[in-house]
Amino acid sequence: MTEPLVQVRHLKKYFPITKGILIQRVVGAVKAVDDVSFDIYPGETLGLVGESGCGKTTTGRTLIQLYKPTAGKVIFDGQDLTEIKPKTMRTLRKHLQMIFQDPYASLNPRWTISRIIGEPLRVHTITQSESAYLERVENLLETVHLNANYMNRYPHEFSGGQRQRIGIARALASDPKFIVCDEPISALDVSIQAQIVNLLEDLQDQLGLTYLFIAHDLSMVRHICNRVAVMYLGAMAELANRDDLYDDPLHPYTQAQLSAVPVPDPRVTRARKRIILEGDPPSPANPPPGCRFHPRCPIAQPHCKVEPPVWREVKPNHWVACHEV
């Protein structure tokens, strides 16, 4: 088997909860990501799904060191990103890029498109001359199917789908190996989502990119990803190849999530058997003891309330954290 491009080992990210106005005391921690391990292989798309607040975005951001991890390792291309010097990290950053969820908030409204897309070129001194810079920006705009004449316009002149293309062009500028796509289509209209997904797939084929695709739309994840990881309350619940996960989910949380996704076909969707989970996910500041999912789990046993399940490979390439599997 090929070497993984990214290895994540026991990654933790806690955000402190403080009290007091002048003298702030730390009174607890939101355990946004709590001991997560997985690999990402070159050229693949790994989906990361889960409910809002489950820590999927924090995982993505901690992975590319936008947040400093509380503990754990992230090994990218053989180097541990949590240990290398800031200067080395800066040069490595051109290989690690991100596409953000909200195409309205992630572009500076006072900058022209060419300045937005070109910033990585300047930061990493990739292009040496002004003409090379402009040529590269033009190329990038064409790569994402935008008219190169748009270069001197401002973000407000574009629609949501076009802005997301600009965000993608910016992520591609430094010729990255790995892109974290953080819900890149959830702010877009249905007819535009398919355009962006196809573009991401084409770019992956042409440029050999590796994606971590963070999303909550399980139908789209099934379409675009090779493997899928399911998170619940800061921890991994299940990780498997796409079809194994969708056709034979093992974790009761994955089963419930998949059963709740509506299908755009009235006969099929009305015949589907739904597992309706009771209640809401608990707070990550105070996760339940034992298995985090046990208060909502339809098959919970007494020991689930005490012992946290072990993250284990139950079948080749099929990982799950559940006592009852």
Partner 1 sequence: METILKIENLEVKFHTLGGVVNAVNGISYSVEAGKTLGIVGESGCGKSVSMLSVMRLIPNPPGEITGGRILFKGQNLLEVSEEKMEHIRGAEIGMVFQDPMTSLNPVLTIGRQIGEAMMVHNGFSREQAEKRTIELLNLVGIANPDQRIKEYPHQFSGGMRQRVGIAMALACEPDILIADEPTTALDVTIQAQIVELTKRLQAELGMAVIWITHDLGVIADLADRMIVMYAGYIVEEADVFDLYEKPSHPYTLSLLRSLPRVDSSRGGGERLATIPGFPPDGVTIMLGCPFAPRCNFVVDRCRLENPPLIMVNNDHKAACWVDVNTGKERSL
206 binds partner 1 (CB under 8 A): no
Q: For partner 1, which is the closer residue by CB, 88 or 147? A: 147
262 binds partner 1 (CB under 8 A): yes
Q: Are 242 and 213 in contact (CB under 8 A)?
A: no
268 binds partner 1 (CB under 8 A): yes
219 binds partner 1 (CB under 8 A): yes
Q: Is 182 strand, coil or helix?
A: strand
| Footprint of partner 1 on 97-156 (CB under 8 A) | none
> Using CA of residue 230, residue 236, residue 239, residue 245, what is the dihedral sign?
negative
Q: For partner 1, which is the closer residue by CB, 30 or 81? A: 30
294 φ, ψ to 5°?
A: -60, -35
Q: For partner 1, which is the closer residue by CB, 76 or 293? A: 293
267 binds partner 1 (CB under 8 A): yes
Q: Are 206 and 139 in contact (CB under 8 A)?
A: no
77 binds partner 1 (CB under 8 A): no
**CB neighbours of residue 206 within 10 Å:** 9
Choose, by CB under 8 A, the member of 148, 261, 300, 325 that binds partner 1.
261
Choose, by CB under 8 A, the member of 57, 106, 114, 257 that binds partner 1.
257
Question: Rounded CA gap, 32 and 47, in Å?
Answer: 18
Question: Rounded CA gap, 170 and 165, in Å?
Answer: 9
Helices (H), ranges, the chain:
56-63, 86-92, 113-123, 130-143, 160-172, 190-207, 218-224, 242-247, 252-260, 266-271
Q: For partner 1, which is the closer residue by CB, 173 or 197? A: 197
**What is the DSSP secondary structure assignment for residue 248, as one 8-state letter?**
S
Least distance to partner 1 from the beta carbon of 161, Å?
Answer: 6
Question: Rounded CA gap, 210 and 81, in Å?
Answer: 17
Q: Are 193 and 27 in contact (CB under 8 A)?
A: no
Tokens of 94: 């051109």
Q: For partner 1, which is the closer residue by CB, 174 or 204? A: 204
Choose, by CB under 8 A, the member of 57, 114, 193, 254 that binds partner 1.
193
Q: For partner 1, which is the closer residue by CB, 100 or 158? A: 158
| Footprint of partner 1 on 2-61 (CB under 8 A) | 51-52
Q: Is 150 strand, coil or helix?
A: helix
Size of the site for partner 1 (CB under 8 A): 46
Q: For partner 1, which is the closer residue by CB, 72 or 167? A: 167
Tokens 């060419």 sit on residue: 114
229 binds partner 1 (CB under 8 A): no
Which positions touch partner 1 (CB under 8 A)? 51-52, 159, 161-162, 189-195, 197-198, 201, 216, 218-220, 222-224, 226, 242-243, 246, 256-270, 272, 274, 276-277, 280
